[in-house]
Amino acid sequence: MQFSESLFAKHMAPISGSAIRDIFKLLGKPGMISFAGGNPSNQALEPEVIAPIAKEVIETVGAPILQYGATEGFIPLKGSIHAFLKEEGIDCKEEEILPTGGSTQGMDLLLKALIDPGDVVLVEDPTFLGALQAINTYHAKIVPVKSDERGVIPEALEEAMKKYRPKLAYIIPTFQNPTGTTLSIERRRRIAELAGEYGVIVAEDDPYRDLRYTGEALPTIKSFDKDGWVVYLSSFSKLISPGMRVGAMVISFPKLMRKCVIGKQSSDLHCPLITQAIVDSYLRKGLLRPHIERITKGYRAQMNAMLEGFKAFPEGTKLNAPEGGLFVWAELPEHVNTLTLLTKAVDAGVAYVPGTHFYAEGGHLNTIRLNFSNSPVDKIYEGMEKLSKVIKENM
């Protein structure tokens, strides 16, 4: 018999993969300046530090590190994540922590636990493309909620909660992907209240939190959560290494934790013990805070270079200057189409992600997301110059 696409699960049929990951395939060209990815800088990665730690943890733990582990996570890591989160202002119990394969897996497990086809998930508008894809995988109905320069608007969120009775709302509160926006403290408090009032799980995805280059850290939404409706998604991808795939969820409802653990049992049984132990050791050695201090210095310079590069952009460009994270977001003059412009930009040697990909309902063709963490300062100047030229030539 011939293979036919009718064999696919209905919810998977329309999903064609991440547009961003396909853009990545264009980037092989030598000399390409890429503002497209969301990778940390290679300069922020420390193979020379991680290599001896890897050897050490395997030797120290011995055979059990190669044996089956608990789905609930490597116990020492749960302890060190607990201490890390406490510093971040999250006062949870160790048994509320579930190590995951990045915060990607955290969101996947929540969806697996909660979503029946047709259930509603609220998202910011725009939001992280990977989350949109994950939600689609579970055939949920995505309802975007209006956001502005202080993040998602609580009144709009409440209205959507009333109208759609969603099970889940997905929010990136700090240096949001793609907009770089940080949710204000009043809104954080209000969203925690709304979650409890309406009985909606709020997935607070906070991977950029510690990449702050200016201003003061804000308390997490989770820190205002009295009843347990906020699930916090933490990740070491942007701080230590994305390739190790180590993150954690904080889940306060024991029954929800149990369902996520069961979901993880059949997803991958447990996270590899070696990578869990490496992150644990890295945290226990106190390496994280000085490392963050070092990398934020570099990122700050890169961000400032990019912001400066915008000066050459056409009049009418609205820039969202963030206080941290990895991205700058802009609205170009209304008639610019960043989607059709991409090929020309790539031909000119510079790549980005068209902003439309981050909108659940598309549109917003004049928006653009630019990543600055993955290019050195001189390349950022060069790339911004090239990009502004391509834009101007096509106006």
Which CB atom, from 51 or from 395, has the smaller least distance to a copy of itself?
Answer: 51
**Interface map 143-172 toward a copy of itself (x if CB under 8 A):** ------------------------x-----
Q: Which of 23, 69, 125, 171 binds a copy of itself (CB under 8 A)?
A: 69
Task: State how beta strands 353-354 and 367-371 pair.
Answer: antiparallel
* Per CB under 8 A, 248 contacts a copy of itself: no
Helix (H, G, I), strand (E, B) or coil at 63: helix
Question: Among 19, 26, 32, 46, which residue sits at the site for a copy of itself (rule: CB under 8 A)?
Answer: 46
Q: What is the nearest approach in angstroms of a copy of itself to the Cβ of residue 165?
A: 11
Q: Which of 19, 32, 58, 287 binds a copy of itself (CB under 8 A)?
A: 58
- Nearest distance from residue 109's CB to a copy of itself, in Å? 9
When binding is defined by CB under 8 A, the residue of 89, 199, 215, 363 that contacts a copy of itself is 199
Which one, 21 or 311, has the nearer CB to a copy of itself? 21
Grouping H, G, I as helix, E, B as strand and the rest as coil, residue 375 is coil
Helix (H, G, I), strand (E, B), or coil: what is residue 114?
A: helix
Contact 174, 188 (CB under 8 A): no
Nearer to a copy of itself, 242 or 309 (CB): 242
Contact between 14 and a copy of itself per CB under 8 A? no
Closest CB 287 distance from a copy of itself, rounded Å: 14
Whether the bond into 30 is cis, omega within 30 of 0: no
- The C-alpha atoms of residue 145 and residue 163 are separated, in whole angstroms, by 12
Which DSSP state fits 289?
H
What amino acid occupies position 16?
Answer: S
Q: Identify residues 282-301 at the interface with a copy of itself (CB under 8 A).
A: none
Least distance between a copy of itself and beta carbon 5 (Å):
6
**In a 3-state reduction of DSSP, which class is residue 99?**
strand
Footprint of a copy of itself on residues 72-111 (CB under 8 A)?
100-102, 104-105, 107-108
Long-range contacts of 149-153 (CB under 8 A, 24+ apart): 149/181, 149/320, 150/181, 150/182, 150/183, 150/184, 150/187, 151/124, 151/176, 151/181, 151/182, 151/183, 151/184, 151/187, 152/124, 152/183, 152/187, 152/191, 153/187
Which stretch, 67-75, 90-98, 207-215, 330-338, contacts a copy of itself (CB under 8 A)? 67-75
| Interface region with a copy of itself, contact rule CB under 8 A, candidates 27-35, 208-216, 252-260, 320-328 | 252-260
Looking at residue 135, its amino acid is I
Question: Among residues 75 and 269, whose Cβ is nearest to a copy of itself?
Answer: 269
Q: Which residues contact 324 (CB under 8 A, 6 or more apart)?
A: 174, 175, 182, 208, 211, 212, 213, 214, 215, 296, 299
Residue 385 beta carbon to a copy of itself: minimum distance, rounded to whole angstroms:
27
AA identity, residue 188: R
Q: How far is the CB of 378 from a copy of itself (least distance, A)?
A: 19
Which of 167, 170, 161 lies closest to 129 in space, CA to CA? 170
Looking at 71-112, which runs of residues are DSSP E strands?
97-100
Q: Which of residues 118-137 bind a copy of itself (CB under 8 A)?
A: 119, 130, 133-134, 137
Q: Could you say whether residue 28 binds a copy of itself (CB under 8 A)?
A: no
Q: Which is nearer to a copy of itself, 117 or 316 (CB)?
A: 117
State the minimum distance, in angstroms, from the CB of residue 277 to a copy of itself: 10
SS3 296: helix
**With contacts defined by CB under 8 A, how many residues of the chain interact with a copy of itself?**
97
Bridge partners of 230?
Answer: 202
Binders of a copy of itself among 208-247, rule CB under 8 A? 227-229, 237, 240-246
Check residue 377 for interaction with a copy of itself (CB under 8 A): no
Applying CB under 8 A, does 263 fall inside the site for a copy of itself?
A: yes
